[in-house]
Amino acid sequence: MDDLAVGVKAARSHWATALEAGAAIAALGVGSFVLWVVSVRSAVFGDMGQLGLVSVLGRSFFFGLALAVLAFVIELLRTPLREGRLLALTVLLVLFLFGTACAIEPVAALTSSWVHAGYVQYVFVHGRPLENYNAEFSWPGAFSLGAVVISFMGQSNALDLLRWFPLVIELLYLAPLLAIARASGVNRRSQWLGIALFYATNWIYQDYFSPQALNFLFFLVVIAVVLTGWSPVQRAVAPRVGRLRDRLGAWRGAVTIRRLRGEDAATSWSVNQVLGCLALLSLIFLASAVSHQLTPYAIFLALIACLLSGRLGRPELVGFVFCLAVGWLSLGASNFWFGHLNLIFGSIGQLGSSIGQNVSQRVTGAASHRLIVDVRILLTVALFGLAVLGAARRGATSRTLELLVCAPFVLFAVQNYGGEGLLRVVLLAGPFAALLAASALFPSREGPIPPILPDFQIRRYPRVILATVAGIVLFSFAVTTMVVRGGNDAYESFSSGELLAVNYAYAHVPAGKTIGVVAPYLPIGQRGVGSVTVFNAAGSASSTPTFNQMLVKMVAARTSYVVLSAAQYEWGLIIAGYPTGWLHTLELTLHHAGDRVVARWSTAIVMRLAKGT
């Protein structure tokens, strides 16, 4: 009887402790969410400084973020893992990182998202893309999908989708990320920490309303299906790969006919499930091939990585995505490359030039901007450095994650993608690098491929030390990403007044005429695709004109309307190095040249070229 009483007491004590810990984590999560709401409601968009979004976030935001990270790390180290709570805390982290800008900024950020809304609008109205307009319209799949979606919604344009799109698409990424993590071979704690690290280091602003955001979802879904569907065939006698010589021999073994035929991968799915997935993947390949220039080739390389590491049982998929991508480029996107093939093949092998365009040319502008760019580079290096450590510390059944990290870099050697290639490559390698980075803290030591580095035991308080290190790493990455992700928001986010100014100009400019802007930092492009031209005096990003050159260009352009705004002013100060008050000087210059102010808001003015001038 006494034993029973002791047992009941112990069980009660265990449950009480678990409940207390669960309640504490729930309280931390709820407190964190409340602080997010408070910080978002108290942020004043108009007070934004040169450091962008972070300059309007108060202490409550960072305190709330710290609570979210603390709750996540405590939950991560509990036994057993409670997946539902970890999922809820991951969603909370995503809200902090990607929902804050959406909630604070009055209209959608980034001119490109407005331009893409304009393309969707064009397809919605005309039922087809505009021929010979620009490169993006040669891959119109995402715009066609957008037109279908707004038609289903009973809307006449996609503008309502823009503002919260980054948060929604990042949450959509979560499902394939979970599947990838579960099938990746890293242990459960590394899976959750890896997903959190991916979000906490995703400063690359490619989740706005765009084909690439949609295609990154396609990419993740394809990899998730492949990794979930196929696993390496377990050999009866595992090869010895302890010594360096054995390891090199094992790598040579990756390129065998047997492996290239997909016979080193096995599936537990039924025939119908496999056929269904093949059909689904083929549809995704087709959708990707007609909607984005780069992603189909990233999928192609990632599938090769899976094939070489024994994680793909159907090599036909590699051929399928390659043929569809090249076929569309050759036939469907011929308007893009007629007469300028160098856009496609010009940067092959020119690695030095590509690195120059992708890295050094971006480290320009005011000190605040250079700081943001420098920190972005450091953050990326830190993630990939941790990934290298994780790859060396973990034991595994295959090196698929390592190959998936390396695969996108082949793209960079072939195509610099207008100076954005490295950004895209880092984004595409990010989820896998984050899982490896998490393995640096929680390595799995099992599998036929042994770890390169020996294990080291933390003798005292291992759980506390691991929790502290994981918390510091995650919080540091998350704060850094918050700073650098919104680091350009001083000129890439817009006020309601700027949108009203653009709408005014569109409402009054006759078809066939031009709206002039100093730099493309306005919510512009959502109307008049093909009928109203936007003149941009700044030209391409690589050749910013001096202030005097810009004045001459603006006067000489003689555009029907000119829209000047606070975002353009900030761009002039931060990136172009124009003098303080330059916008007023430009306004006076245009006034002398015959332009008259016809509408004015606190953050924007619209000028019209007077008749007879």
Q: Residue numbers of the site for another protein (CB under 8 A)?
A: 262, 271, 274-275, 278, 282, 314, 316-317, 319-320, 323-324, 326-327, 329-331, 334, 337-339, 341
* CB closer to another protein, 64 vs 140: 140
Instruction: Supply angle C-alpha 133, 138, 140, rounded to 5.
Output: 105
* CB closer to another protein, 160 vs 316: 316
- Find, among 437, 420, 331, the residue nearest to 380 by Cα: 437
Is residue 226 classed exposed, middle or buried when 0-12, 13-18 and 19+ CB atoms within 10 A define those classes?
Answer: buried
Q: Tell me the three state secondary structure of residue 106.
A: coil
Paired tokens of 2: 């006494």
d(CA 313, CA 393): 28
Tell how far CA 272 is from the center of its chain.
34
* CB closer to another protein, 314 vs 399: 314
8 Å CB contact between 521 and 491:
yes
- Taking the complex as a whole, the smallest distance from the CB of residue 262 to another protein amounts, in Å, to 8
* CB closer to another protein, 331 vs 511: 331
8 Å CB contact between 179 and 224:
yes
8 Å CB contact between 281 and 225:
yes
* CB closer to another protein, 224 vs 324: 324
* CB closer to another protein, 228 vs 282: 282
Question: DSSP string spanning 329-364?
Answer: IIIITHHHHTT-THHHHTTTT-HHHHHHHHTGGGS-
d(CA 364, CA 350): 22
8 Å CB contact between 193 and 224:
no
- Taking the complex as a whole, the smallest distance from the CB of residue 9 to another protein amounts, in Å, to 58
Residues in Cβ contact with 97 at an 8 Å cutoff, skipping those fewer than 6 apart? 170, 199, 200, 202, 478, 481, 482, 485
Q: Tell me the three state secondary structure of residue 524.
A: coil
- Taking the complex as a whole, the smallest distance from the CB of residue 305 to another protein amounts, in Å, to 19
- Taking the complex as a whole, the smallest distance from the CB of residue 238 to another protein amounts, in Å, to 26
* Distance spanning both ends of the chain, measured CA to CA: 104
8 Å CB contact between 405 and 436:
yes
Question: Is the torsion defined by CA of 526, 532, 535, 541 positive or negative?
Answer: positive
- Find, among 119, 60, 66, the residue nearest to 89 by Cα: 66
* CB closer to another protein, 278 vs 557: 278
* CB closer to another protein, 10 vs 279: 279
* CB closer to another protein, 317 vs 554: 317
- Taking the complex as a whole, the smallest distance from the CB of residue 334 to another protein amounts, in Å, to 7
Residues in Cβ contact with 429 at an 8 Å cutoff, skipping those fewer than 6 apart? 384, 404, 405, 406, 407, 408, 409
- Taking the complex as a whole, the smallest distance from the CB of residue 290 to another protein amounts, in Å, to 13
**Phi, psi for 302 (deg, rounded to 5):** -65, -35
d(CA 392, CA 456): 13
* CB closer to another protein, 289 vs 537: 289
- Taking the complex as a whole, the smallest distance from the CB of residue 286 to another protein amounts, in Å, to 10
- Taking the complex as a whole, the smallest distance from the CB of residue 417 to another protein amounts, in Å, to 19
**Phi, psi for 534 (deg, rounded to 5):** -110, 120
* CB closer to another protein, 268 vs 580: 268
Q: 91: part of which helix (H) or strand (E)?
A: helix 83-94
- Taking the complex as a whole, the smallest distance from the CB of residue 329 to another protein amounts, in Å, to 8
* CB closer to another protein, 171 vs 274: 274
- Taking the complex as a whole, the smallest distance from the CB of residue 320 to another protein amounts, in Å, to 5
Residues in Cβ contact with 338 at an 8 Å cutoff, skipping those fewer than 6 apart? none
Instruction: Supply angle C-alpha 524, 527, 528, rounded to 5.
Output: 115
- Taking the complex as a whole, the smallest distance from the CB of residue 203 to another protein amounts, in Å, to 36
- Taking the complex as a whole, the smallest distance from the CB of residue 349 to another protein amounts, in Å, to 17
Q: 232: part of which helix (H) or strand (E)?
A: strand 231-232
- Taking the complex as a whole, the smallest distance from the CB of residue 225 to another protein amounts, in Å, to 14
* CB closer to another protein, 4 vs 331: 331
